[in-house]
Amino acid sequence: MGEFRLDRRGFLQGTAAVAGALTFGIGTAPAIAQSREINMIGWSNPRLAELFGRAEKDIGIKINYDVLPAKWDDVMQKITLWGQTGYDGLDVMFADDLIGGMWGMNGWAEDLSGISINTDDLVDNIKDLNNAAGGVYRLFFTLGAEPFMYNKDLVATPPTTWEEMIATAKSITKGD
């Protein structure tokens, strides 16, 4: 492993990850914070204001949180432009796999490989995905859930396991 250098942006990204972790009660506040304010952007979530408010009290760092546009094309245009132009008004971004990979592979994000984090509770596929861009460009502190919908005209009872979902999908697509 190479030499680890921590510049302001890297420090703030790590601090924000810790702040995120603190909002979910899985860490302790760092005593080394140099900057008292960070700028974050991510998805709309009404609970974040409350969580970040608690984190600000716990760690003493103000979190300025902005919401990404609702339309996916606008999100991609904005974050791609920021990366290409070296926009420095952002310290931390909640990013999905596509955005995290794009920023990492293009050299727009700080490689966080040198930061010691607990990955024991991540499944192997998430660890592999996190390292796919040749470095660590995302620190997972929460994983969201995606809803599944089903057509009641095709499926009388919704599947409750992956195996049931696969079997149901195969049974309604035979011959199509």
Residue 51 and residue 21 in one domain:
yes
Question: What's the number of domains the chain is made of?
Answer: 2
Q: 56-78 as b/e, with b when 16 or more CB fall inside 10 Å?
A: beebebebebeebeeeeeebeee
| Residue 155: domain span | 146-176
Residue 72 and residue 40 in one domain:
yes
Residue 26 and residue 113 in one domain:
yes
The pLDDT tens digits of the residues spanning 33-91 come to: 456 899 999 988 888 888 889 989 999 999 999 999 999 999 999 999 999 999 999 99
Residue 12 inside a domain? The answer is: yes
Residue 84 inside a domain? The answer is: yes
Residue 89 inside a domain? The answer is: yes
The pLDDT tens digits of the residues spanning 116-172 come to: 777 777 777 777 777 777 788 877 766 666 777 888 998 989 998 889 989 988 888
Q: Is the pTM of this model over 0.75?
A: no
Residues contacting 18, CB < 8 A, separation 6+ = 27, 29, 30, 59
